[in-house]
Copies of this chain bind each other. A is one copy, B any other.
Amino acid sequence: MLVVGSVAFDTIENANGSVQRVLGGAASYASICASYFASPAVVAVVGTDFTQQDRAPFVKRGVNLDGLEVRDGKTFHWGGSYDKDFNTAVTRFTDLNVFQNFNPVLNDIQKNARAVFLANIDPELQLSVLNQVKHPSLVACDTMNYWISSKKETLLKVVKRIDVFFLNEGEARQLTGEYNLIKAGRILLEQGVKYVVIKLGSNGAMLVSNKGLVQLPPFVLEHVHDTTGAGDTFGGGFTGYLASLEDWNNLTAIKRAMMIGNVMASFTIESFSVDRLANLSKQDVDQRLEEYVSMLKF
């Protein structure tokens, strides 16, 4: 499974404290999460300031880093702060650094990937990756408001070629011009997406598909430490789980993938960075999945 996106440093401030230059980036959260279900390989770029220690969480989780290009310069660095209740994230700086000239070139093994997760990056790059992968049986894609504003046409070209599309509520509305999330989802289905997964933050996620509509709650957590990376974790766990299946294209598999996305995101938000996500035992994961299933059993 290929995960294309950003590997970055984050500097974050919220009501629970602050951290400087910790591991972040959509591809980091997504690949580390996917490692609990599949064998992910990252395609991303970092600067020469990205140390062995920064690689440790990937190494620990067996994430393949052959596609982690190192360029002269600094690693992408994002700084942001959250209000008390994680309602609004304010970006304080975005230093793209080496990420500015990122141009993913896949090797032969990567070109034969069966599953691809196009994490949140410039849709031009997502398209470039899609053009290089030969016969993927599963392509999932995430995006953000910035690309919907600035590169909508390119993003829509990507959308025509993917199986699973992750968006949050605001993004779904912005991209389709439709407030109602089911109607927004149906507009995207008409573009050829098989499964539109609308991430609802603390309310879980909703699936709009021609096979059915499903809404699932989150794994309920009493204490949230930091929500950075929750959506990337959701997408990585979702796609990683599907990548592990012989046949992922059915509602049973998709529902389990949604559950896994929700449950894995609950670990991410219990710490800054990937501190919690990268250090789970199989038992930790299984226990929460069981609790989730049990919460929804009548």
Contacts and interface: CB of A to CB of B under 8 A. Distances in A.
Interface of A: 84-85, 87, 179-180, 182, 200, 203-204, 206, 213-218, 220, 222, 252, 255-256, 259, 293, 295-298
Contacts of A204: 203, 215, 217
A293 B297 CA distance: 8
Given A293-B298, A297-B297, 6 more contacts: A182-B220, A200-B203, A214-B220, A215-B217, A215-B220, A255-B298
Given A200-B203, A203-B203, A215-B220, A179 B85 contact: yes
**4 residue pairs, one from A and one from B, having the closest CB atoms:** A215-B217, A296-B296, A203-B203, A85-B179
A269 B204 CA distance: 22
Chain copies in the assembly? 2
Contact of A220 (B87, B200, B213, B220): B213
Given A85-B180, A298-B293, A216 B213 contact: no
A225 to B, nearest CB: 13
Contact of A214 (B203, B214, B215, B295): B295
A222 B215 contact: no
Contacts of A222: 182, 213
A298 B214 contact: no
A179 B218 contact: no
Contacts of A182: 220, 222
In this complex, the member of A84, A203, A213, A256 whose beta carbon has the largest number of chain B beta carbons within 10 angstroms is A203
